[in-house]
Amino acid sequence: MTSAEFLVGGDLKVRRLGFGAMHLPTEPGGDRENSLAVARRAVELGVDLIDTAFMYGRGANEELLAEALYPYRDGLLVTTKVGVSFAEASDEWRLDGRPEVLRAQVEEALRRLRVERIELLQLHRIDPETPLADQVGALRELRAEGKIGRIGLSEVGVGELAQAREIVEIATVQNRYNLLDREHEPVLVACEAAGIAFLPWRPVMWGDSGARAEIAAVAAEAGATPTQVAIAWLLGHSPVMLPIPGTARISHLEENVAAGDLVLSGAHRDRLDRLAPLPE
C-alpha cells in the first residue's frame, strides 16, 4: 500500500481521493446522460471510492450510479448513507434513525445499487430523538447479517464517535471540513488516533477575499489551480484524509483527480495552515 491509498476498516484498500456523486443530475435528458458519463469517467481515471446517499434524490442518485457502473469493477467501493427520511405530507426531510427505518433504507439501497452487500454504509446524521445505541446497534445487526460490511458516521463530534465505538467498530467519519473550515479538527485527530478514515464533505470552499487571494497565490506558484491546492492540502494534512470532491463536469473531475499528484512545499503548507483558525 502506498501513501496515496488507505485501508478502510483496516482491510478495504482504496485510493485516498474519491468522488462525491451528490451534484450529479438524475432527471431524464441530456443532463442525466452527462451524469452517467461523469461517473464512468471517474472510474476510468482510477477513482475507486464513490459516495452517494438516499437523500440525494430519494435514491435516484444511487440508481444513477448503478446504471452507469453496474456490473461494478473489482475494487470499486460505492458507499451510501441512510438515516434521513422524506415526509410526503410536509414535503420536508427529517432525521430518522429508528432501527426499522434504517433497516428498510438499507434494503432499498441494496436493491437500487444492485448488490447483496454494501461494503461501507454510513449513518447520514445522528437522530437526536432516537438513542444512539439503537441507531448504531441496528447497523451492527445488519452487518452481522452480511448486508453491510463496514459502518461509518457523518457529522459527529468526538464524544458521539467515542460512544458509537463502544458499540461497534467505526470505519469512517464524514464531516464538513476544508482548508478554510476546520471546525472538526478534534474529530480528525480522534480519527487519526484510531485509524478511522476521515471523508471531508465540502472539501473545497472559499472563504473571505483575503483567503482566496492567498490560495490563488500559492496555486500560481505551484503551477496548479486553487481547487487543486485545496485538495492537495487536505491530502497532505492527514494520512487518514479521503477527500470526495464532487462535480457534474468532466473537466472539473479531471482537474480534481489530477490534484492527487500535486505535492505542496513546506512553505506553501505553512502559508495555507494559517488561513483558518483551529477550534479552541
106 in Cβ contact with 82 (< 8 Å): yes
257 in Cβ contact with 232 (< 8 Å): no
Count of beta carbons in the 10 Å neighbourhood of residue 28: 8
Q: Which residue type occupies 200?
A: P
- Angle 16-22-28 from CA coordinates, rounded to 5°: 135
Report how far residue 193's alpha carbon sits from residue 257's, in angstroms, rounded to the nearest whole number: 27
Count of beta carbons in the 10 Å neighbourhood of residue 68: 20
Give phi and psi for 128, each to the nearest 5.
-70, -15
Report how far residue 186's alpha carbon sits from residue 249's, in angstroms, rounded to the nearest whole number: 33
Report how far residue 8's alpha carbon sits from residue 168's, in angstroms, rounded to the nearest whole number: 15
Local structure of 67: helix, strand or coil: helix
Residues assigned a catalytic role: 56
Q: Which residue type occupies 280?
A: E
Q: List the one residue out of 106, 96, 103 whose CA is nearest residue 128.
A: 96
Q: What CA–CA distances, in Å, run from 186 to 44, 76, 182?
A: 35, 30, 9
